[in-house]
């Protein structure tokens, strides 16, 4: 699967940094890119441990932030 860098109106590449509340903590992630099928490449900047890069595909009706929060809850566990 080929991912393309997100583009702004002037066709410049960029990454979107987001603060996302997961359980009782606020995690920092950077959305690096997306592809035409709606898959987003995300880097999770852990507060403890190394950064982790993964793909997220939002379910129908979910925002990118909601999809990332659900994925992080699964990765972090209870």
Residues 25-40: tens digit of each pLDDT: 778 888 877 767 778 8
Q: How confident is the model at residue 7 (pLDDT cuts 50, 70, 90)?
A: low
DSSP symbol at 75: H
Question: Comparing C-alpha atoms, which of 72, 42, 68, 46 is closest to residue 55?
Answer: 42
pLDDT digits (tens, 9 = 90+) for 55-69: 998 899 988 888 888
Q: How confident is the model at residue 4 (pLDDT cuts 50, 70, 90)?
A: very low
Q: Tokens standing for 48?
A: 């403890």
Whether the Cβ atoms of residue 43 and residue 12 lie closer than 8 Å to each other? no
**Whether pLDDT at 1 is above 70:** no
**Whether pLDDT at 77 is above 60:** yes
């Amino acid at each position: 699967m080929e991912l393309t860098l997100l583009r702004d109106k002037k066709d410049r590449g960029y990454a979107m940094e987001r603060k996302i509340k997961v359980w009782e903590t606020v995690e920092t992630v950077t959305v690096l890119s997306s592809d035409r099928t709606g898959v987003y490449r995300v880097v999770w900047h852990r507060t403890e441990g190394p950064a982790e890069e993964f793909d997220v595909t939002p379910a129908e009706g979910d925002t990118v932030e909601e999809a990332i929060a659900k994925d992080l809850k699964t990765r972090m566990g209870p």
